[in-house]
Structure 1
Amino acid sequence: MLLFIASCVAGGLLIEDYNVNRQFISETFAIDTAYGFWLRFLGYIPSGILLTWFCFLGVRYFPTSSMIKVGFYGVGIFYGIGTVVVSIFPCDSGCNPEFINPSMSQVIHNLSALMIYTFVPISIIIAGIGLSKFSNYKSFAYISIALGLLSAVFVFIFISGLTSAYVGLYQRIIELLILVWFVVCAFKIRGTV
């Protein structure tokens, strides 16, 4: 997770006049950026793999439940593997929010991002609902449901205004809410080990 955050911060610092409020995170590693290759292959791809492993291995520290498994695997697949896919297929210069004559890489990038932002909040909510059935996990369950719902609200705001002056801020709020779920989950696992 820290690798993902470091990549986001470094990417923004490496691009002159980059504005976190109005520019997508993906613009830091777009096809034509100077350090895009390094950000993708040393930052985003490894962090996606690590986040996937966290979900796939972390689920075993929680009660056996199909909803919990679906939630964790959903986050692992859509957020972890999704991060790898959007990194392998970077967006065009400026990330082409109007989607005018996009490259194949841009199309794959956008479809993967859409899947991430659609299914990760749902997966977090599903995990929370599954956890709510176990008394020792109620607080984590409620936190999961709240984070999933909040991220879904910001996904709606984000997708509704892809050309907004605050699209970058909305995206970062979504990412922050998802990463907070990972942190809370890690602390819960640490308490059970």
Structure 2
Amino acid sequence: MNRLDRTLLACGLLIPIWLLLGVWLTAQAYPGYDHLQLAMSQLGAQDAPTQHWSPLVNNFPLALLFALFAWGLARRWRTSKVALLSAALILLHGLGSLGTGLFPCDQGCAPAQPSSSQQLHNLSGLVMFLSLTLASALWIWLGKRLAGSSSFGGFSLLCLLAAIVTVALMAHAAQSGQLFGLYQRLNYGVSVLWIAGLACQSLHPTLANRFRMATI
């Protein structure tokens, strides 16, 4: 594995750190922002005090990191069509992150009559959820078949189940108005930790030649 491949895959390790620091730092400039109750999207919502620079700190850099990691993943597992599909899904997730930054949600992020920007924001968010959920589902099988790690397959399964459970909790919280921010952070936190796990698995030095000729 050359330096470029290692650098690209290391972007996956940086993603959860960037997300944590970016959201925390942005929230410092938003008076009264409550991480337990408010969606992360409210940091970039229309008329929010952090509207104009939240995407520059969060959405756009994360979109780039996802794209670079997807490129590295495609290079690392290029002999596997299923792994290439997972890389394409991760790239799609990056595009979704770009979309949520380009199209801010309305003030409060849950209007009775959403604007076009809100609708595109919601669509981008749905793409983000579905893409990483499907990618993690693929690695339940790829973990053992391609990477030779049943433990990573099990980790992917746990992350998939956690993502489904927490998105259901998010839907309930959206109705009740309680703890939406907490469940959203748990949901996305699980997803980016899975990305970091996939990066670690792909960087594992003993696997560099083992599956070079693998085809799926």
Please tell me whether residue 92 in structure 1 is matched to residue 102 in structure 2. no
1:158 to 148, 166, 170: 170
1:111 equivalent in alignment to 2:126: no
What's the counterpart of residue 74 of structure 1? 89
State the AA in 1 paired with 2:58.
G
Kept in 2: contact 1:131–1:138 (CA 8 A) = yes
Structure whose residues are more often helix by fraction = 1
Q: Could you tell me how far 1:137 is from its partner in structure 2? A: 2.8
Kept in 1, the 8 Å contact 2:78–2:84? The answer is no
Instruction: Tell me, yes or no, if the aligned pair for 1:68 and 1:131 is still in contact at 8 Å.
Output: no
Decide which moves more: 163-172 or 68-77: 68-77
In structure 2, the partner of 1:175 is 188
SS at match of 2:53: helix
Moved over 3 A (4+): none
| Aligned-residue identity in percent | 22
Q: Which residue in 1 is equivalent to 2:11?
A: none
Tell me which residue corresponds to 2:139.
Answer: 127
| TM-score normalised over the length of structure 2 | 0.80
3-state secondary structure, aligned to 1:131: helix
Structure 2 counterpart of 1:75, one-letter code = I
Q: 1:149 to 1:67 in 2, by over 3 A?
A: farther
| Aligned CA distance change for structure 1 residues 155 and 168 (closer, same or farther; 3 Å) | same
Partner of 2:9: none
Contiguous gaps of at least 5 residues in structure 1:
none
Contact 1:24-1:171 at 8 Å conserved across structures: yes
Contact kept? 2:73, 2:84, Cα under 8 Å: no
Alignment deviations for residues 11-62 of structure 1 (CA, whole Å, 9 cap, x no partner): 2222111111111000011121222211212432122111122022223323
Alignment: residue pair count: 190
In the alignment, the residues of structure 1 paired with residue 115 and residue 158 of structure 2 have an alpha-carbon distance, to the nearest angstrom, of: 37
Would the aligned equivalents of 1:72 and 1:124 in 2 still touch at CA under 8 Å? no
Q: Could you tell me how far apart the structure 2 residues matched to 1:86 and 1:60 are?
A: 27
**SS of aligned partner of 1:161:** helix
Q: Select the residue among 46, 67, 76 that pairs with 1:31.
A: 46
Aligned to 2:151: 139
Q: Does 2:199 correspond to 1:190?
A: no
Residue 48 to residue 54, structure 1, CA distance change in 2 (3 Å):
same
Q: Tell me: CA distance 1:106–1:94, structure 2 relative to 1, closer, same or farther (3 Å).
A: same
Match of 1:41 among 46, 56, 61: 56
Mark the CA change 1:44 to 1:17 in structure 2 (over 3 Å): closer, same or farther: same
d(CA) in 2 for partners of 1:182, 1:114: 18
Q: Deviations over 1:63-109 (max 9, x none)?
A: 7322222223212212x11111000001111112xx41211111100
Inter-CA distance 116–87: structure 2 relative to 1 (3 Å threshold):
same
